[in-house]
Amino acid sequence: MPAVSMTSLSSRGGARGSLGARGSFSHVRRVRVSASSSPASGASRSRVMMAAVEAPLGEDVSAEKSFALGPMTSQADRPEKRLQVEVVPNLAENTTAIRCLDWDRDRFDIEFALAEGTTYNSYLIQTAEATCLVDTSHEKFRDAYWAALDPLLNGKPITHLVVSHTEPDHSGLVKDVVDKFPEVKVYGTKVCLTFLKDLVSEGQTFDGVTVKGGEADNVDLGDGHTLEFVAAPNLHWPDTMFTLDRKTGIAYTCDAFGQHFCTEDPYDTNVDELLDHYRFYYDCLMRPNSRSVLTALRKTKEWEYDTIAVGHGPILRKSMTMWKDYYATWSEAALEAAAGRAAVIYEHGYGYAERLSQIFAKGANKAGIETEFIDLTAVDDQEVIEALHGASGVVIFSPSSAVAETKLSTAFAASSSKRKIFVAESCGGDDEPVDSILRPYVESGCDCPVDPLRIKTAEPTPLDYQKYEEAGTDFAQAMTKKVAATARKDAMNAGIAKSLGRIHSGLYVVAVEAEGGVRTAMIASWVTQASFEPLGITVAVAKDRAVESYMQVGDGFVLNILEEGKADATMKHFLKRYAPGVDRFEGIDYDSTPCGPVLGNALAHLQCCVRSRLDTGDHWVIYAEVIEGAVSNPQGRTASHRRVVATYY
């Protein structure tokens, strides 16, 4: 069994709101598990290989510590995916973190690329009077999670369970907790507790305590630990809430302020290393709910804390002001830049409504539209009317027939004939027919710029998720078309526009092929070599391009270089406006490579891997390392692109 040496990081001191931290990396006690086979059945099970040495409180931890580590477990359905559990004692007084490390997860919500895996964090508060678990983990960590948690409990029951929200990667083991400890009190919002009833074992009941926020809901765990709650819906789940332990100054925020970054260091030790991941996570999961982000920050502005115990990624301790200010600044900028607002109506807990609506919103946000979510299970008629007021677009994800009967008529009554409308299935098995929902809107004069979407399989595929995101972008572009064209023209001085238009470039097709058969492409002209070592190029990609979602750090793509005199047909094909989800390569001769499609008529091609992205306003500048390349016609010349003015491509 190999020994891995870890050098401790120095402790950081400080007052709340500054560079505060308790303990250091050297306090981490790691539990790694491996799969062993039962001789009788061959079934895989998890067993603890070794618990590393824990430095007692007060001990000098500056010396190097060695840990004996066994092999990691593997994901049952994908053996190449490594899983691991990390226990962080002494996060604060009576408080332990349990971090489930998903080292090789490369996608989140299908289309969000993960360059550095992710973690699922839960927390344990133990006093003389109570044992409180804040969130659980993904069910794929079941054996390893309990192997780490059981020794910490030392035979004592979990008396309190705080469920920050019911997304499966954080509530996947709630059923286990309720089964093991039927007397446990489960704290969550009203929507959360309603949904949890479907997650526990059939016939199993639990003692649910509805949290609304406010002093009356505070929970005294003993030894000075008092929990305070604030509802924070739509971050990024409709039933989300934040929790504050007043004694330790820890704010438990689940998805908010997190990042998909898997590392052995449980803390935000290297802020510079984390910022890109922090921003990408915000853009994918929080930006669609910018207004809700600002509301949550306002509700918690009086909270005093020096640690943000997030649901994903490193625990934040270095600067609470910095991390919060980023969220405030980005959210305010998103709302200020929005060219309109679309109300997104869905039914929480029904089918795949949450996933599909969030992905649609991501596509809409890329094209400059603010989205506001309306959960039909959590609002009354007056709240529906207020949410629709001022919205220039209405998006409806088909609810169950029972909910549709009582709620959708209110939404229709509150909508004017000048609004744009979009309807899509939620893949719940009892969806109200999309045509029935759409008909009264069309008959009243509403514009339906994007055809309704339907799902033909039992659950959405990667191609469906691609289709829903592209539909969001198309819908938003329809809402902003006139405004965007005028704004671009007015933003540029005529002389500058003509001068800038004299910058000539080549013509290229950027092509990607992602998991699940997803293929997409775009015509590019803003391309240049950027470095010799490593050999790199940059490509400018508009933020509302479909291909942009598949050009995250770590993703591959192919730059197809078009040939002079042979580019017209290819240009015409890829410049067409396609319906959401349509395969851009249908009828096109191409070869698949690890990085994406190589066109049969390309003069040359480069296989590339994205290394970094630079935000330049309405475009991303993608820097990529060139991995492979070939020229198909050594005598050919690159097709060139000349413009008269720079107000168009």
Write out pLDDT tens, residues 230-249: 999 888 788 899 999 999 99
Q: Do 349 and 203 share a domain, yes or no?
A: no
Which residues have a Cβ under 8 Å from the Cβ of 584 and sit 6 or more positions away?
519, 520, 521, 573, 574, 578
| 23 within some domain | no
Cα–Cα distances (Å) from 384 to 285, 345, 356, 379, 408, in that order, read 23, 9, 20, 7, 10
Q: Which pLDDT belongs to residue 191?
A: 85
CATH code where residue 399 lies: 3.40.50.360
Exposure on the CB side of residue 597, measured as CA atoms within 13 A: 24
Q: Do 606 and 482 share a domain, yes or no?
A: no
Exposure on the CB side of residue 508, measured as CA atoms within 13 A: 24
Number of Cβ atoms within 10 Å of the Cβ of 58: 6
- Boundary residue ending a domain (299, 333, 367): 333
Residue type for position 187: Y
Q: Which pLDDT belongs to residue 40?
A: 30
Q: Do 142 and 202 share a domain, yes or no?
A: yes
Q: Do 299 and 424 share a domain, yes or no?
A: no
Q: What is the total count of domains within the chain?
A: 3
Distance CA 178, CA 158 (A): 9
| 399 within some domain | yes
Q: Which pLDDT belongs to residue 305?
A: 94
Residue-by-residue DSSP string for 292-325 = HHHHHHHHTTT---SEEEESSSSBB-S-HHHHHH
Q: Do 477 and 514 share a domain, yes or no?
A: no
Q: Do 307 and 346 share a domain, yes or no?
A: no
- Boundary residue ending a domain (333, 365, 394): 333
Cα–Cα distances (Å) from 247 to 154, 225, 251, 306, 432, in that order, read 24, 5, 11, 11, 49
Q: Which domain holds residue 96?
A: 85-333
- Boundary residue ending a domain (456, 487, 518): 487
- HEC profile of 420-436: EEEEECCCCCCECCHHH
Q: Which pLDDT belongs to residue 201?
A: 64
Q: Which residues of the chain have pLDDT under 50?
A: 1-71
| 364 within some domain | yes
Give the dihedral sign, CA 107/108/109/111.
negative
Q: Do 284 and 376 share a domain, yes or no?
A: no
Q: Do 174 and 270 share a domain, yes or no?
A: yes
Q: Do 182 and 315 share a domain, yes or no?
A: yes
Q: Do 262 and 195 share a domain, yes or no?
A: yes
Q: Do 324 and 364 share a domain, yes or no?
A: no
Give the dihedral sign, CA 426/427/429/431.
positive
Reported as a single tens digit per residue, the pLDDT across 146-204 is: 999 999 999 999 999 999 998 888 898 999 999 999 999 999 998 888 888 877 766 67
Q: Do 598 and 580 share a domain, yes or no?
A: yes
Q: Which pLDDT belongs to residue 469?
A: 94
Q: Which pLDDT belongs to residue 646?
A: 65
Give the dihedral sign, CA 188/194/200/205.
positive
Residue with token string 């430095």: 55
